[in-house]
């Protein structure tokens, strides 16, 4: 295989669309909170968008490195590590990207006079590194870890705008309600992915709750989560006085997820939960 083809496969390992979505999530949240978006034209300040994306790419690389055994069972046609991309390349580029993100976040901390960017970047990097080899196989801990990282993007956006300052009670409770919505949807999607990957997780001795609980019990959890999402969406619609198109988007995301869950189509359900997650961010525009 040519180096160019191998580079293309490495790029796919970083999951570029997911990484771009992370950047968009931070930017939309910043805009909602009142961050001066023109400052992002400065290369250093653009790190508020780039650093989470780099950490996400590094996390995806190391996740595929550690998940090789279960991926050969769950999705053998999509395995690239050790086939089209050398394991050594995955490890070296993971640490290279992580180091770059930490250095950039240190610059952000220094320029903003706030240690939190460096602390958050280091915490996200550590959690993503430990996720596959240690956290994923410990019940719900793996799901909570990923949900914390995704919801943490909102905290990252808050830090870029306000630092550690809490502006006022009105903004605060709306912000943390929004963060909880993101956390909830990510938990649900990770649970569905665990159901999909059950065979490989059992082979790799990952004791996820989805592999330990019956399918009927998992459906109860998912229906409860969707009901909570629907209730919070109604409240969010009222509090934010959303436009009709935003209400429609939330309804489509929630309705599509419910329809997929009704037929227990896990592939469609995972996709619809991702759509629902996106509609929550659209509600900020």
pLDDT given for residue 55 in this prediction:
98
What's the whole-number mean pLDDT along residues 214-218? Answer: 90
Under 8 Å between Cβ of 269 and 260: yes
Share of the chain above pLDDT 70, in %: 97
pLDDT 10s digits, 127-167: 999 998 888 878 789 999 999 999 999 999 999 998 866 65
Give the whole-angstrom CA distance, residue 71 versus residue 266: 17
Domain locations in the chain? 1-162, 166-285
pLDDT 10s digits, 230-285: 999 999 888 888 899 999 999 999 999 999 999 999 999 999 999 999 999 998 88
Q: Predicted confidence band at 1 (pLDDT cuts at 50, 70, 90)? A: low
What's the whole-number mean pLDDT along residues 24-49? Answer: 95
Residue identified by tokens 């580079």 is 7
pLDDT 10s digits, 155-166: 999 999 988 666
pLDDT given for residue 46 in this prediction:
97
pLDDT given for residue 255 in this prediction:
96
What's the whole-number mean pLDDT along residues 58-82? Answer: 87
The CATH code for residues 1-162 is: 1.10.357.140
Of 58-67, 116-125, 154-163, 165-174, the poorest mean pLDDT is in: 165-174
């Amino acid at each position: 295989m040519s180096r160019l083809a191998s580079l293309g496969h490495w790029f796919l390992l970083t999951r570029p669309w997911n990484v771009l979505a992370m950047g968009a999530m931070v930017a939309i949240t910043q805009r909602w909170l009142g961050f001066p978006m023109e400052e992002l034209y400065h290369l250093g300040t653009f790190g508020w968008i780039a650093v989470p994306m780099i950490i996400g790419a590094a996390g995806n690389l190391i996740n595929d490195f550690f998940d090789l055994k279960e991926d050969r069972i769950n999705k053998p046609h999509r395995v690239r590590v050790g086939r089209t991309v050398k394991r050594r390349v995955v490890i070296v580029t993971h640490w290279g990207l992580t180091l770059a993100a930490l250095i950039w976040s240190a610059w952000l901390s220094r320029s903003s006079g706030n240690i939190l960017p460096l602390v958050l970047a280091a915490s996200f990097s550590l959690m993503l590194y430990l996720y596959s080899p240690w956290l994923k196989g410990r019940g719900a801990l793996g799901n909570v870890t990923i949900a914390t990282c995704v919801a943490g993007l909102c905290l990252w956006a808050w830090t870029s705008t306000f630092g550690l300052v809490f502006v006022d009670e009105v903004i605060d409770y709306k912000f943390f309600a929004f963060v909880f919505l993101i956390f909830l949807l990510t938990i649900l999607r990770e649970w569905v992915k665990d159901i999909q990957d059950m065979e490989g997780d059992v082979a790799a001795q990952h004791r996820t709750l989805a592999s330990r609980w019956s399918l009927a019990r998992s459906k109860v959890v998912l229906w409860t989560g969707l009901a909570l999402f629907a209730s919070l969406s109604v409240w969010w619609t009222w509090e934010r006085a959303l436009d009709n198109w935003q209400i429609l988007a939330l309804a489509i995301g929630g309705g599509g997820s419910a329809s997929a869950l009704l037929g227990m189509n896990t592939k469609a359900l995972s996709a619809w939960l991702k759509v629902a997650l996106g509609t929550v961010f659209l509600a900020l525009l």
